[in-house]
């Protein structure tokens, strides 16, 4: 499996291409899409979009993973983060790639073993787990950690359902129970 892992942000979007070969995971590319404050929001979003398109074209990932929405105290920060996430979701849809999301605490738990780990701890563990020669920048390390979490966690994508997955468990339970009761002649009292 080859995945594109993204830690979206307007001014520092971290990304990584991870590949799983049997039990070995390697990082093919990582980086941070930096947009200085003097660049407008639309131009920053366009820069993120264009760079991620190049990465997808070069590496042909089969899935995109990203950090799920986090709680922020500022409406303006939430809107800007939402816009950066929207670019990622758009790119995934354009390329027909399934999307998986993981909350920050779960990512830290999976990589460091503690959901409240600091950024430098995440970067250190990512370097060790992926056998990198240098410690990556924190935004890129976060992207790699999200990818490692995905590769270590069975999950269902946001954009596609597994064929075996039931969409409404209560409805299916009642239908199955009703069919079984009908076959045996039992009646359920109302």
Determine, yes or no, domain membership for 171: no
In this prediction, the residues of the chain whose per-residue pLDDT falls under 70 are 71-72, 154-190
Q: What range does the domain containing 154 cover?
A: 2-161
- pLDDT score at 185: 54
Q: What is the DSSP letter of 153?
A: S
Sheet bearing 12-21, strands edge to edge: 24-34, 12-21, 2-7, 63-67, 99-102
Determine, yes or no, domain membership for 177: no
Which 3 state secondary structure label does DSSP give 179?
helix
Strands 12-21 and 99-102: unpaired
pLDDT, tens digit, 9 for 90 and up, residues 168-177: 445 555 555 5
Number of domains into which the chain is organized:
1
Active-site entry in 101, 139, 142, 165: 139
- pLDDT score at 157: 56
Determine, yes or no, domain membership for 83: yes
Told to judge if 181 belongs to the known catalytic residues of this protein, a careful annotator would answer no
Told to judge if 20 belongs to the known catalytic residues of this protein, a careful annotator would answer no
- pLDDT score at 141: 94
Active-site entry in 19, 20, 43, 67: 67
Determine, yes or no, domain membership for 190: no
Determine, yes or no, domain membership for 184: no
Specify the pTM: 0.77
Determine, yes or no, domain membership for 123: yes
Told to judge if 7 belongs to the known catalytic residues of this protein, a careful annotator would answer yes
pLDDT, tens digit, 9 for 90 and up, residues 117-145: 888 889 999 999 999 999 999 999 999 99
Determine, yes or no, domain membership for 12: yes
**What's the CATH number where 29 sits?**
3.30.420.10
Determine, yes or no, domain membership for 175: no
């Amino acid at each position: 499996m080859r995945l594109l892992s993204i830690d979206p942000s307007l001014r520092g979007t971290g990304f990584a291409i991870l590949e799983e070969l049997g039990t070995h995971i390697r990082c093919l590319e990582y980086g941070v899409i930096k947009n200085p404050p003097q660049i407008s929001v639309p131009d920053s979003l366009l820069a993120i979009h264009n760079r991620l398109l190049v990465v997808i074209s070069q590496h042909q990932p089969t899935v995109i993973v990203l950090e799920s929405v986090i709680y922020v105290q500022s409406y303006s920060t939430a809107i800007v983060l939402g816009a950066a996430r929207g670019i990622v979701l758009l790119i995934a849809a354009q390329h027909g790639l399934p999307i998986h999301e993981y909350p920050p605490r779960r990512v830290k738990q999976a990589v460091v073993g503690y959901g409240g780990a600091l950024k430098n701890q995440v970067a250190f563990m990512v370097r060790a787990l992926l056998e990198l020669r240098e410690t990556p920048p924190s935004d890129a390390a976060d992207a790699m950690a999200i990818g490692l979490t995905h590769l270590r966690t069975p999950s269902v994508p946001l954009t596609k359902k597994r064929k075996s997955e039931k969409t409404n468990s209560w409805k299916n339970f009642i239908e199955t129970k009703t069919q079984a009761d009908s076959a045996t002649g039992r009646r359920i009292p109302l």
